[in-house]
């Protein structure tokens, strides 16, 4: 059965979505990711969707769900690498992912995570 | 279609005479514009029209969209276009056709004085055919106008959505004119494309040039902001005039968490601060030494 790999980088987890998502895959990803966040004591999750060319309301909701789950487990989520066409589609669908942080690429996303976690520790 | 063949015979038999009378009538009319069209050109157009008209009548088909009328349609399209360029109004172009009616009726009267009933029927049919041709010129004229309008719309669309790089990582999007859905689409696409190309983290949308903001415009703005945010760029809306601020509040538009500033300069200042940059005034310029330029440049480098 296909799975989406979850890579651990220090205290962050990196998820790269490169295949078309469907219900079962999304459920598996949510299971795996929440388990890994707990097991690895992850402080942040980066979801790279730069390979996704087509996004529908289902994926939009899945991203929002993952962000919400991670937040409950005290990990920040950043979605990175969205393509312009995908961004426009999501906005037209009325899904502006208000609860999800976004960044242009993995590098920027990583910076954002570090910054957020540092400021949270300071505060 | 008996009447059409009668008409055809009439025109064929008296073509030269009809042409001469028709051209004379046009030249004598009060609406003749000697400043716009020469006598020679007018007679040439009339001659071509009349001969095509005769050929089409020979088919016996009164439907202007039939293949038999293709020649005349083509000629009228040319004529309509050239007349429009010469500065004729559409009704003046249509009058060119309608004036043929009177000439033809004169001939018909001579021809059919003996049979008034047939004459009336013939006049009605002739009138119908020529009316249709006259209206066709107006239609063509209008189509030409529409093409011009569509072309200008497209040009406007391309012209009015530049994305400017203000500083490394700061884009500006000065919007001029009304923001409708099709323009929003273009604006959004070009903005997001530039965000990818430049890696900009902040985009300033300046609406100084937007005449009015209604709920729909505000919605379009918010969409653009949301799309830019999904790409990881923050948006600042600037150039909000006092009246627009009032309108936004009266309409109950919720701009949510979007940062708004009254001028582009304020927005740029915020953008620089977020990027940990600052603009400072340098000390007053010193007197120039003989080799001033070189020395100044050296000094600048030290200050950096």
pLDDT at A123: 67
Contact predicate B230/A97, CB 8 Å: yes
Which of residues B42 and A33 earns the better pLDDT score? A33
> Which residue in chain B has the smallest CA separation from A50?
B231
Would you list the domain boundaries of chain A?
6-122
On the question of pLDDT at B47 being above 70, the answer is: yes
**Smallest Cα–Cα separation from B28: which of B98, B97, B90, B99?**
B99
> Which residue in chain A has the smallest CA separation from B226?
A96
Q: What is the pTM (predicted TM-score) of this model?
A: 0.63
On the question of pLDDT at B174 being above 70, the answer is: yes
Percent of chain B with pLDDT over 90: 21
On the question of pLDDT at B292 being above 70, the answer is: no
Is some CB atom of chain B closer than 8 A to the CB atom of A94?
no
CATH fold for domain A6-122: Transcription Regulator spoIIAA (3.30.750)
pLDDT at B288: 63
- Residue B293 pLDDT level (bands cut at 50, 70, 90): low
- Residue A44 pLDDT level (bands cut at 50, 70, 90): very high
Which residues of A fall within a CB distance of 8 Å from B229?
96, 102
On the question of pLDDT at B285 being above 80, the answer is: no
Domains of chain B, CATH where assigned: 2-156 (1.10.490.10), 164-274 (3.30.750.24)
On the question of pLDDT at A45 being above 70, the answer is: yes
> Which residue in chain B has the smallest CA separation from A84?
B192
Which residues of B fall within a CB distance of 8 Å from A88?
185, 188-189, 192, 227
Is some CB atom of chain B closer than 8 A to the CB atom of A96?
yes
Is some CB atom of chain A closer than 8 A to the CB atom of B196?
yes
Identify which of B189, B196, B230 has the shortest CB distance to residue A97. B230
């Amino acid at each position: 059965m296909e799975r989406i790999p979850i890579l651990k980088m220090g205290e962050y987890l990196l998820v790269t979505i490169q295949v078309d998502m469907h219900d079962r895959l999304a459920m598996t990803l949510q299971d795996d990711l929440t388990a890994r966040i707990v097991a690895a004591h992850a402080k942040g999750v980066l979801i790279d969707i730069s390979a996704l060319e087509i996004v529908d309301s289902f994926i939009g909701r899945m991203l929002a769900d993952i962000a919400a789950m991670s937040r409950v487990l005290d990990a920040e989520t950043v979605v990175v690498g969205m393509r312009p066409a995908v961004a426009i589609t999501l906005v037209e669908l009325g899904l502006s992912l208000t609860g999800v942080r976004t960044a242009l690429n993995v590098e920027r996303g990583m910076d954002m995570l570090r910054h957020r976690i540092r400021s949270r520790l300071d505060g | 279609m008996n009447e059409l063949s009668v008409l055809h015979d009439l025109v064929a038999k008296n073509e030269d005479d009809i042409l001469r009378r028709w051209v004379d009538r046009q030249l004598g009319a009060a609406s003749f514009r000697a400043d716009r069209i020469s006598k020679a050109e007018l007679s040439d157009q009339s001659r071509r029209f009349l001969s095509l008209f005769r050929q089409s009548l020979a088919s016996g088909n009164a439907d202007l969209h039939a293949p038999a009328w293709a020649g005349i349609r083509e000629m009228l399209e040319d004529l309509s276009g050239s007349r429009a360029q010469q500065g004729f109004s559409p009704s003046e172009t249509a009058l060119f056709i309608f004036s043929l009616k009177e000439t033809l009726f004169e001939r018909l009267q001579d021809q059919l004085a003996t049979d008034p009933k047939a004459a009336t029927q013939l006049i009605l049919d002739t009138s119908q055919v020529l009316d249709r041709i006259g209206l066709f010129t107006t239609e063509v004229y209008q189509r030409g106008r529409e093409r011009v309008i569509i072309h200008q719309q497209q040009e406007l669309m391309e012209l009015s959505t530049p994305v400017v790089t203000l500083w490394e990582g700061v884009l500006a999007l000065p919007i001029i004119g009304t923001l409708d859905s099709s323009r929003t689409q273009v604006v959004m696409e070009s903005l997001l494309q530039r965000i990818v190309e430049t890696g900009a983290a902040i985009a300033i949308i300046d609406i100084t040039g937007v005449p009015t903001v209604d709920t729909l415009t505000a919605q379009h703005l918010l969409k653009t902001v949301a799309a830019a945010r999904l790409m990881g760029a923050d948006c600042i809306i600037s150039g909000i005039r006092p009246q627009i601020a009032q309108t936004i509040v009266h309409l109950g538009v919720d701009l949510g968490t979007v940062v708004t500033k009254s001028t582009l300069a304020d927005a740029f200042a915020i953008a620089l601060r977020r990027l940990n940059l600052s603009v400072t005034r340098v000390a007053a310029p010193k007197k120039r030494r003989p080799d001033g330029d070189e020395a100044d440049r050296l000094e600048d480098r030290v200050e950096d």
